[in-house]
Structure 1
Amino acid sequence: MLNFDFVLLHVADPLVSADFYSGLLGKPVVESSPGFAMLPLNDKVMLGLWLASDAAPGGGGRPGASEISFDVADGAALSEIHADWTGKGLPILIEPVEMPFGHTFVAADPDGHRIRVVAGVKS
């Protein structure tokens, strides 16, 4: 059986990305070096931030090529996070919109990775 426990993003600067995600999510960085940083997304899943040029094999990872997604309880929570992230100056790639899977918006991290927030699932 496979257990999902890690998300790995290739980034231009792991220390910058770790600072960004730590501040955004209110989570502590648990490992930090110029080539790699890591912090918890929740009790079971970690976020790894690997220097793209060091990613093995071959270091061909491209910063900004991924999307991570977070669930929130409802539209009010989504609106609150959207306002907070907009106030912090995060680039908003997709303003809040209804989609078949729920109310959502998408922001970008320093490398251009997409950060999606979704409220509810449409039935």
Structure 2
Amino acid sequence: MNRELVFIVYVSDIQKSVDFYRDLLEVETTFETPRYVTFGLAEGVALALWTGESSALAGEPVRTSEVCLNVTAEQVQETYDAWVAKGVRVIEEPHEDVFGTTFVVADPDGNRVRVAPID
């Protein structure tokens, strides 16, 4: 069966968000339309940004999901330092959790982006 798993993040400004994720994750887009853009992350896995549901971002929406980047345990602090140098908004500084050292930043719309060690 031919499949692709796509994680969709609602954004209000497509170009601002594309620039943010391209720089943050150091990946290039694989598909672009004026309101929907994808980044191929791995075989059969993509991250999509979509303005079609940006109204869901009005006010202070409850954040019940997040994008998570898993890196080696040694790379968690390195990634934090690199992202802070890029000027990202930090929501949670590096701390220990059940799965190891982790931290969370926000994209331009306040969507959560976590970094955690690979299991």
TM-score bin, normalised by smaller chain: 0.7 to 0.9
Q: TM-score, normalised by structure 2?
A: 0.83
Distance across 2 between alignment mates of 1:95 and 1:80: 13
RMSD after superposition: 2.1
Gapped runs of 5+ residues in structure 2? none
Q: 1:62 aligns with which of 57, 66, 74?
A: 57
| Contact 1:5/1:44 (<8 A) preserved | yes
Distance across 1 between alignment mates of 2:94 and 2:30: 32
Q: 2:99 aligns with which of 98, 101, 104?
A: 101
Structure 2 counterpart of 1:71, one-letter code: N
Distance across 2 between alignment mates of 1:14 and 1:106: 21
Q: TM-score, normalised by structure 1?
A: 0.81
Q: CA deviation at 1:43?
A: 2.6
In terms of fraction of residues, the more strand-rich structure is 2
Q: CA deviation at 1:4?
A: 6.2
Residue-by-residue CA offset, 1:66-119 (whole Å, 9 max, x unaligned): 411111111x20010000000000011100000112210001111111000112
Report the CA distance shift for 1:35/1:117 in structure 2 as closer, same or farther (over 3 A): same
What is the aligned length?
114
| Contact 1:15/1:37 (<8 A) preserved | no
Structure 2 counterpart of 1:95, one-letter code: E
Q: CA deviation at 1:30?
A: 1.7
Kindly, what percent of the aligned residue pairs are identical? 33
Q: 2:33 is matched with which residue?
A: 33
Structure 2 counterpart of 1:34, one-letter code: P
Q: 1:92 is matched with which residue?
A: 90
Give 1:1-123 correspondences, 5 Å limit. 5-51=5-51, 54-55=52-53, 60-62=55-57, 65=63, 66-74=65-73, 76-121=74-119
| Contact 2:29/2:37 (<8 A) preserved | yes
| Contact 1:102/1:120 (<8 A) preserved | no
Gapped runs of 5+ residues in structure 1? none
Query: Does the residue aligned with 1:61 lie in a helix, a strand or coil?
Result: helix
